Amino acid sequence: MSTVLITGVSRGLGLEFARQYARAGWQVIATCRTPDRARDLAKLAKEADGRIEVAALDMLDPPGTQRFAKVRARQPIDLLVANAGLVGPHDIVPTDDDDAWTEVMRVNVMAPTRLAMLLADAVAASRLKQMAFVSSHLGSITSNQSGGLYVYRSSKAELNAVVKSLAIDLKARGITAVALHPGWVRTDMGGSNADIAPSTSIAGMVKVLAGLKRADSGRLIDYKGTVLPW
């Protein structure tokens, strides 16, 4: 049985990732900051007949993340899905609010990078050896034709750069690392006017991950399987 560890599973894309992987027969380690408040996740775990393990993980707590990873490193993790993310202010410009910008960078870049490095041994010890980072086409410098969204764009561009470096640095250990663009999804983050349902986005990304090749490592790929420019 394959094992997937997913971050940010209390709602939205993370919850749907857990639902679809559990249905597919995977063992799911579903993490979120406050499991006692994650009612939808608790309900899903109850319905999953033991295939979903809920675990507390505060990605902004480095010592806590280290303790978490030390325990989880004892078992192989076929797929790490770094899903937890934050949009941040839409109207910020570089001189407005350093604290808001820093928080987004910590959540979207620093935290998933830290977790990936701490769990690299567990992923390398698995059969599939995959890491996936939920990013966005808004982090693509080439595709930016509209400007704006300084905070979110810069965080996702930086995450994409991290994924590229991870793909290089972990290649010798057999690990494939990719960034994924989920599309514009109807979640709390994407809003009610977004193009697609979470189930559609996740089904697409699950299919992409199932078909990954070593040559895909370091790429930004959308939920339809299209490789996007950096």
Q: Could you report the average pLDDT of every consecutive run of 10 residues in the chain (230 residues)?
A: 96 96 98 96 96 96 97 95 89 75 95 98 98 96 92 96 98 98 77 80 98 98 97
**Is the alpha carbon torsion for 130, 159, 105, 150 positive or negative?**
negative
State the pLDDT at residue 33: 95
Could you tell me whether strands 227-228 and 220-222 are parallel, antiparallel, or unpaired per DSSP bridges?
A: antiparallel
Taking the alpha carbons of 130, 179, 82, 41 in that order, is the dihedral positive or negative?
A: negative
121: Cβ contacts below 8 Å, ≥ 6 apart: 73
Residue 174 C-alpha from the chain's centroid: 20
Query: How open is the CA angle 20-22-26, to the nearest 5 degrees?
Result: 115
For residues 84 and 187, is the Cβ–Cβ distance under 8 A?
no
- The residues, ordered by sequence, that sit 6+ positions from 37 with a Cβ below 8 Å of its Cβ are 10
- Cα(193)–Cα(166) distance, integer angstroms: 34
What does the pLDDT read at residue 195? Answer: 79
Task: Give the per-residue pLDDT at 43.
Answer: 97
Give Rg (Cα) of the chain. 16
Name all domains of the chain by residue range, CATH numbers in brackets.
Answer: 3-228 (3.40.50.720)
- What is the Cα–Cα distance from 208 to 69, expressed in whole angstroms? 26
